[in-house]
Every structure is written in structure tokens, then in C-alpha cells.
A and B are shown apart, each in its own frame.
Chain A
């Protein structure tokens, strides 16, 4: 899985020079899109289980992401996540959001395979910017 695409998507959604609040919003909207793509396939419950596991894995590196397990359902967890992200500075928020999504996609890939994961999630990532040559060719 190309991790740059995740970082680029977050940065793109948040906009240029975004603050932590905008980044948090971008992260949550990415999560919503992922859930929309994945829930039909692996079930809403499946998405939630993977999300919790990703949070657990990520908090080893980013302790401030720690949340109480009984923080409610997926929607409630996302709200808490958004609040946590918004409290940090922009760079920290981007880093944490990125790592959480990376852990999630890798976890999913370990279960259903890399190529199915990529296939399912491809539509939610921002397509890579065109290179200079491609731009000229147009």
C-alpha cells in the first residue's frame, strides 16, 4: 500500500495551510468514506472492529490517541477522534491521522489481502497529481 496517497489525500482534503481543526475534519471525512465503501462488504461491525484495533495499535506511538474502549459506537469514536486531533498542532494532527489510516489499511490487507483492500479503498484516495510531463502533454 502506498502510504503517500493517504498523506496526500488528508492534505488535499484539509486544503493549503490547514490548521489542526481542518485536518481533523479531513480525517473524519476520510473515515466516513472508508466506512461507506467497506460496510457493505465487511459489515458495519467489521469496520468498527478494525477501527478499534487500529486505534489500539496507533496509541503505542501516539499515546494521546488513547480513548476509553467504551467510548461508544463508531460514530461516537470518530467524534472523540476529531476532538483529540483538533487539540493538537497541525503537524501532529496530520501525523496521527496518517498513521491511524495506515494501520487500518494494513490491518485490513492482512485479513482480506492487499489487492482486495486496494481495490475497495481506491475510490476514497485523491488521485496523484499529474506530473509536469503529463501536464505538458495535455
Chain B
């Protein structure tokens, strides 16, 4: 039997990065971090370096012209990962500007080689690669060309048993540079400005021997450095332990917390289902969602609510506020305008797992759409699909509310065409009966289950939603202009239904 080589995978210390790399950074790989100025390249490099460097696994950081090293040290120190105790012990900075400005790349290579030999680093960083390139172009008369330089550096770096990174201002789009062929890994960072929001993205365009998650992943740079929100992946692709046993999905029923609504749903909402509550403004969607969470709390099930519209102090959500204060409900309340859906999903998953929540409310999809950065609005539906898939993979029961414009000429359930994404739909409408606005509610769909098809009148009282009897004596309710049915006249005349 032939022993195959085992590739060690290093934990990069960047939240979310190991996941998209397919389980960590391969040891002895030669990587490229590319992106425009300000996209977070040096920060990413430093964050990885400070996480990985130890006295037994030292790191060498070569700085080249690009950014004055003093500035780099000054600003990078602001991040919490910058551990001064590691400097000179497990991390050494080496400035190459003298060699580079001399324009002799054999000298640059020789200096890098000399330092690497002297320090035997396990990690080597060269920042920034582009300054080396630009300089090479200006000094075209140099003894070796830039292509050879990069290739030789790549070969040297892999020969040293070091995991190495070239950091460079570089747009992978413009022509295939030989370095892309040599590199084992390619991290492309970008910042997209759309309208007035800016969204940072990272893409692992290549990583030899790894099942990476391709696609653009958004990230933020905070005081602790980069935090990557890997795109919500449909379960099966990634292992999230389901909160509830998935075999019970759709079998067990959970109480929704509104008397008689459970009956309408055919005996409660099947556990693990996603339910869309659609209705016009003020029809009682949030109250229904609150009842749903409240019932969970009463039964000892934790819940999570993602609120996009109302501030927790508003009286409407007082009940939710109390539950949050009591620690029974986790709240994600955000009105930031440059969120990515992945970021929300990541936070949601973390919170669900931390709270061991089984009930999740997203109130509302309309607010959600406003909160995500404009860049993502086009893909909102796709992202919603992924989010629902991830949540259903976790085994939680999800209630999403959706604002509906009151239109009486057509019957719509959601503005995103998201109706098909959910397992169950409840629709709320206003109807005019006897010169009054009345609320009605109907269960439109419960996947794989019998359910009531009645349109029921309901009222919102102090204790929440009170569902009345079926509205039998009117038709055309959903059109908003109900007419009394002939049957109603019969009833009035005392005839049996």
C-alpha cells in the first residue's frame, strides 16, 4: 500500500475563513491575497499571521515599499489580534525597500532567501507584491524579469516548507498573471459600493486540494479584524447539527399560541415548517408572531426573533421585550443599511445554536429587504431561499411576516414570489362589512397536511388575537367587496345551512 501525503490544515483564526476554505489552510501552500487598496489585504495577512505564529512556528513578514511600515505597524496595532508579545519572538518584520528600490531582483530574492534561511519561518508573508511588480517594470533593464521573479519566488517559497502569502493590489480579472498559475491559493478581496452602501467581499478563487465554498462571501472589519460571513449554504453542503430531530419534521405539531388557529392549520403547525404570514400594515402579523414565540416560551421552548422595523421599546413589542429581558428569546434587532443576508443568517445561526431555539421569527421580510445593502436586493429572493433552506436544515420552525399592499384586484401572498419557499401560508386581509373595516384570516397552504379552508373573521384584543367564526354569509371577501350570499338570507330566514 502506498502512503499518500497527508496535508495538514491550519486554522487561520479568521472567523468564517476556515469554513469557506473547506476546513482550514493547507500547510506549505503558496497563496495570493489580492484586492484593491483598502480592501483589507494587510489586515487579513496580519490576522492569519498573529493567529498562526508561535515560537515553534515563526513567521517572517517582508514589507516592500507599498505602505510605509511605520504606518502599517501603527494602524495594525489597533486590532485586538496584534499581540506585541509575539513581535520579535515568533514574528519578525523585514523591510525590503532598499533592495527593491535598487531594482535588482536577484538581490531581492537573495535577501528573502537569506532571511528565510536565518530565521527558518514556517510562515512567510510578502506585502505588497504589486510594489515589487511595478518596480520591476520601471527597471526593465534588470537582470531578471518580473515573471521569472515571481516564479522563482514561488518555487523558493514552496521549497522552504513554509506556508506563504503574497499580498498584492491585484485584480485577477485583468489577464492571467503567471503568479496565478504558480499559486496554490487565491484570495480575492473587494469592496463594492452601490448607492450609499459599501459591502466587502472575499472570494477564494482557488485552493488546491480543498473543497472550497466558491462564491462571494461578505465580511466586516471590526476591532478584532475580519469576520467572514460565509454564504448561507444549503444543508447537506455543510454540517450544521439540526436543533431538532429532522425525522420529526412535519410529523409533530406545535401550538401556534392563538386559540382556534391551530385547528385551522389542521392541528397546529407541523414542527420544522416555515410559515409565511402575509397581510397589510396593521393587520396583526407581529402580534401573531409574538403569540407564536410566547407559546413557545410557555412550553419551555426558546425562540429567536429578527426584528427589522420596530424598536424593542415600542409598546407593541412589549411582550417580546419582556421575553428577551427574561432570556427566553434571543433578539437580533438591526436597522443598519449595509447588511448582507449572509451576515444576518450567520448571526441568526449563532443565536439559534446558543439559545437552543426551536422557534424563529423574522419580522418582517419587507424590513429585511430594506436592511440589506442595495447590492444584494437583486438577489434577495435567492438569498431568502438559501436562508429558509438553512433554517429548515437546523430543524427550527420559522415564522416570517410579509407586508402586503392591499390590492383588491389580485390575490398575492408576498412581493418576493417567496410564497413557494414556505411550507405554510396564512393570509390576513381587511374587508369592508357593514361600513366597517374587519380583519379576516385564512390558511392558504399547509404542505402535506389537511387544513381549514375557511375565511375567519378575527379581532385584536388586549390578550391578543381572537378568531371568530367562519364568515359564511359573505362571498368575495378577498376581493375586498364582499356581497351577502343568498345562503345568508336563508339563514336569516331560519333555514338550516
Residues of A within 8 A of B (CB): 39-46, 111-113, 115-116, 119-120
Q: B70 contacts which chain A residues (CB < 8 A)?
A: 42-43, 46, 111-112
Residues of B within 8 A of A (CB): 63, 68-70, 73-74, 77, 84, 87-88, 92-95, 97-98
Among B68, B77, B84, B94, contact of A40 (Cβ-Cβ < 8 Å): B94
A120 to B69, CA, bound (A): 14
Interface of chain A, main secondary structure: helix
Q: List 4 additional A-B contacts (Cβ < 8 Å) besides A42-B95, A112-B73, A112-B77.
A: A41-B73, A43-B97, A113-B74, A120-B88
Q: Are B95 and A44 in contact (CB under 8 A)?
A: yes
A44 to B84, CA, bound (A): 22
Closest chain-A Cβ to B126's Cβ sits at a distance in Å of 14
Q: B95 contacts which chain A residues (CB < 8 A)?
A: 39-44, 46
Q: Are B88 and A119 in contact (CB under 8 A)?
A: yes
> Could you list 23 examples of A-B contacts with CB < 8 Å?
A40-B92, A40-B93, A40-B95, A41-B94, A42-B68, A42-B69, A42-B70, A43-B98, A44-B95, A44-B98, A46-B68, A46-B95, A111-B73, A111-B74, A112-B70, A112-B74, A112-B77, A113-B77, A113-B84, A116-B77, A119-B84, A119-B88, A120-B88
Q: Are A43 and B63 in contact (CB under 8 A)?
A: yes
Q: Which of A39, A44, A112, A119 has the most B CB atoms < 10 Å from its CB?
A: A112
> How many residue pairs bridge A and B at CB < 8 Å?
52
Interface of chain B, main secondary structure: mixed
Closest chain-A Cβ to B297's Cβ sits at a distance in Å of 49
A46 to B84, CA, bound (A): 20
Q: Are A41 and B93 in contact (CB under 8 A)?
A: yes
Q: Are A116 and B84 in contact (CB under 8 A)?
A: yes
Q: Are B97 and A45 in contact (CB under 8 A)?
A: yes
A31 to B73, CA, bound (A): 22
A125 to B219, CA, bound (A): 44
Closest chain-A Cβ to B384's Cβ sits at a distance in Å of 46
Q: Are B87 and A116 in contact (CB under 8 A)?
A: yes
A112 to B77, CA, bound (A): 8
Closest chain-A Cβ to B46's Cβ sits at a distance in Å of 13
Q: A115 contacts which chain B residues (CB < 8 A)?
A: 84
Q: Which of B69, B70, B88, B92 has the most A CB atoms < 10 Å from its CB?
A: B70
Name which residue of chain A comes closest to B98, CB basis: A44
A111 to B74, CA, bound (A): 6
Q: A116 contacts which chain B residues (CB < 8 A)?
A: 73, 77, 84, 87
